[in-house]
Amino acid sequence: MTTWRGGCHCGRIAFEVDGEIETVVECNCSHCRPKGYLLWFVPREQLRLSTPEADMSTYRFNKHKIAHHFCSVCGVAPFADGEQAGHPMAAVNARCLQGVEPADLDIQQVDGRSF
């Protein structure tokens, strides 16, 4: 299993995440589309923060079930977390992972605008 390092631009948010990136999601909802997210979903226990949780700012919208974490210094949003079918999940922004080239990813389009 591969361990990826990721985080925000200024380094205030840093993490490691374990897994193999098979598919990422590009959602067209009002939040994901303007930010250009490419989301890789993993069980939350596979993501480990390397920096204090207190260094993250969090934004919730719509049903307030997903915590979208971002850096209040540089503005980059490297991941979100919530639950999927009762299991804690993380949605990692693949654009924030070191060594990942977006053009090499299998991108699945999701119509989040209609939910």
Fold of 3-114: 2.170.150
Place 96 in a pLDDT band, splitting at 50, 70 and 90: very high
Mean pLDDT rounded to a whole number for the chain: 94
Q: 2-37, pLDDT tens digit by residue?
A: 999 999 999 999 999 999 999 999 999 999 999 999
pTM of the predicted model over 0.85: yes
Looking up tokens 């654009």, which residue turns up? Answer: 95
- Where do the domains of the chain lie? 3-114
Region of 99 please: left (phi>0), alpha (psi -120 to 50) or beta.
left
